[in-house]
Structure 1
Amino acid sequence: MNNIDNIIQHLKGSNDYIVTSHISPDGDNIGSTLGIYYALKKLGKNVFYVIDDNTPQNLKFLVEDVEILTSKEFELEGYCVIALDCGDKNRICLSDTLINNAKHLTCIDHHASNDYYGNLNYIDADASSTCELVYNLLVRLEQIEQIDIIDEVIATALYTGLVTDTGNFAYSSTHPSSLEMGKELLLKGAKRDTIIQRVFQSNPYNYYKILGEALNTLDIVQNKIASICITKEMLKRNSISFNDVDGITSYTRDIENVEVGILLKEKKENEVKVSLRSKQYVDVSLIAQSFNGGGHVRAAGCTIYDSIENAKQQVLEAVLKTI
């Protein structure tokens, strides 16, 4: 059950919090997590940013002043966990020990596949981003407490998540409320120019080297399905990290007549992350769910524990059944 006021009472009622998100951090992941992180600090709470993964290069500007811990580095007891933008409890990027030993788990998320795994949940699959949900929560907190919470730092974090999850307001998930939120965040001082430059206009040279190699693997099936494969050898050869090539996914979708785009990234032997995108009518979240993944109607993902060749074949067969 969604109840913002109950979550606000919980945020006020405890002292020690872990904020975290899903594996393979992205803009909405980091933006929403930082929004809650800084809000809790303003409430005088002990808050720790804990995640067992690396921040993508183009988003590091957001966390320059934040101490990010791994599960092994966190030693406190009696803490509460707030999981943001994570549609599946199994994808929370913390150790099982930290998750299971938490005295309370709150989930704030916008994935349709979310099964309300938290003790408290704020889930809205129609929201443009988890950052939009955090924005709603913080606006309500400001109303209740009669204090200013959203400052330039929080506005910048939330605006980053908003523009990355809406494709800079181009995706179908963009609603009037998203544009209104964007306006309000800009009025609060969100550093729009910095966000656009760092997120969309600062890809390293190696990104374009691997992009060229990746495009050589482009395969189009029945003029409606496009796929690109990135192997671990390609990542190593081009000296670029696993989390820094997700932007290549759009190249599979943005082809004339293509309805479904697929990016397959080999993390290690027999472990392949699959990103799925669609344009108009295919619900890729259902395809992802068939491989124990999840996501949204137009953007979803899963992990397949097989060779990248076999993973590609399995996903293609699943998409062909849907098409």
Structure 2
Amino acid sequence: MDKIINYINEGNYFIVTSHVNPDGDNIGSTLAMYYYLKSLDKDVYYVLDDDTPINLKFLLKDIEILSSEEFINLNIEQYNLIALDCGDLNRICIDKSIIENSKKLICIDHHASNDNYGDLNYVMPEESSTCELVYNLLKKINEDKNTQVIDQKIATALYTGVVTDTGKFSYSNTHPSTFEMAKELLILGAETNKVICEVYGNNPYNYYKLLGEALNTLDIINNKIAVITLTQDMLNRNNVSFKDTDGITPYCRDIENVEVGILVKEKSSNEIKISLRSKNYVDVSKVAKVFNGGGHVRAAGLTIFNETIENAIKMVVAETLKYI
């Protein structure tokens, strides 16, 4: 933390970014770092080559997110890159040339699969979220400077990340420190009711039509594995974007006797995204790793290319059964 703090203090130009398929911890941690760097009068650019899920757009109303092309066209040299919540160098959602040309790559992350790919790394797999790591970093800055650097905007962003990555404080990655962090963020003005309403209480009608169709695909295997499938036809028929379907994942896992939930999502004709969630004992990151994916013990993901949905399901289920 000290090395990262010192380097931030010395630098002038920064990019903040994260992984593909943005989620709450992705956006919350990146945005909190963006706001903090802005408070230091640094030149900061939020760069991400992906769209934001509809339920997280409220965080970014006043933020300009640049594409890689837009940033490259600015012709900025000697910049530093901070990658947040990205467990793999290849999942950083910007053009590779931006990564390669950065003066220093700083990695802040909590994925167990992270191999410390940065020049400076603050990687703590045991923490609830990357937002908790950013909170720890800012808290240390508070202590060093004897001043409060977490304002309401930062607190709200961090609260969003920790709430979503812990499943509203219900997952096994929720620790006493997580509740302490949430308490402090409440004291600092985090708009908690707004976060819950926007993230969980504003799904469009079409989302529930899609959810109904998705639940009709539910298949239970050996009473321990549940599979739900989303096809492109289902998404198009209900006019729901691929990026707005993560909320369906828990429905796979939250069934009596089921240990592993598998959500299979057809992103295109040759690309299938699979989300894995476990309840008690299966380390789904090991399953994901077999298919060049990654993640956490209880939550992981992978991508299968150039296979039918049926074959993709068979492959992942067969691997998962080894751990049941």
TM-score between the two structures when normalised by the length of structure 1: 0.98
Unaligned runs of 5+ in 2: none
What SS does structure 2 have at the residue aligned with 1:322? coil
Partner of residue 307, structure 1 = 308
Q: Report the Cα offset of residue 145 of structure 1.
A: 2.6
CA distance in 2: counterparts of 1:258 and 1:141, whole angstroms: 44
**Contact kept? 1:29, 1:161, Cα under 8 Å:** yes
CA distance in 2: counterparts of 1:59 and 1:77, whole angstroms: 31
Unaligned runs of 5+ in 1: none
Q: Report the Cα offset of residue 147 of structure 1.
A: 3.0
Partner of residue 44, structure 1 = 41
- CA deviation profile, 1:29-80 (whole Å, cap 9, x unmatched): 0000011000000111000110000110000000001001110110322211
Partner of residue 203, structure 1 = 203
CA distance in 2: counterparts of 1:265 and 1:16, whole angstroms: 38
Q: Write out aligned runs for 1:171-250 (5 A).
A: 171-250=171-250
**Contact kept? 1:19, 1:33, Cα under 8 Å:** yes
Partner of residue 81, structure 2 = 81
Q: Write out aligned runs for 1:1-323 (5 A).
A: 4-74=1-71, 75=74, 76-305=76-305, 306-323=307-324
- CA deviation profile, 1:138-193 (whole Å, cap 9, x unmatched): 01112223332100000000000010011111111000000000000000000000
Q: Report the Cα offset of residue 239 of structure 1.
A: 0.7
Q: Report the Cα offset of residue 195 of structure 1.
A: 0.4
Q: Report the Cα offset of residue 93 of structure 1.
A: 0.4
How many percent of aligned residue pairs carry the same amino acid? 63
- CA deviation profile, 1:81-105 (whole Å, cap 9, x unmatched): 1000000000000011111111110
CA distance in 1: counterparts of 2:83 and 2:309, whole angstroms: 30
Q: Which portions of structure 1, spanning 4 or more consecutive aligned residues, are displaced by more than 4 angstroms?
A: none
Q: Report the Cα offset of residue 7 of structure 1.
A: 0.4
**Contact kept? 1:31, 1:131, Cα under 8 Å:** yes
- CA deviation profile, 1:216-238 (whole Å, cap 9, x unmatched): 11111000000111111211111
User: Larger deviation: 136-145 or 114-123?
Assistant: 136-145
CA distance in 1: counterparts of 2:180 and 2:266, whole angstroms: 39
CA distance in 1: counterparts of 2:140 and 2:182, whole angstroms: 17
CA distance in 2: counterparts of 1:52 and 1:65, whole angstroms: 18
CA distance in 2: counterparts of 1:148 and 1:254, whole angstroms: 40
CA distance in 2: counterparts of 1:257 and 1:146, whole angstroms: 51
Q: Report the Cα offset of residue 307 of structure 1.
A: 2.2
- The letter of the residue matching 1:317 is A
- The letter of the residue matching 1:58 is N
**Contact kept? 1:105, 1:119, Cα under 8 Å:** yes
- The letter of the residue matching 2:321 is L
- CA deviation profile, 1:278-318 (whole Å, cap 9, x unmatched): 00010000101111111110000011112222211110111
CA distance in 2: counterparts of 1:13 and 1:205, whole angstroms: 49
CA distance in 1: counterparts of 2:24 and 2:90, whole angstroms: 20
**Contact kept? 1:271, 1:307, Cα under 8 Å:** no
Would you say how many aligned residue pairs link Structure 1 and Structure 2? 320
CA distance in 1: counterparts of 2:227 and 2:185, whole angstroms: 36
Alignment RMSD (CA, Å)? 0.8
TM-score between the two structures when normalised by the length of structure 2: 0.98
CA distance in 2: counterparts of 1:268 and 1:147, whole angstroms: 49
**Contact kept? 1:37, 1:49, Cα under 8 Å:** yes
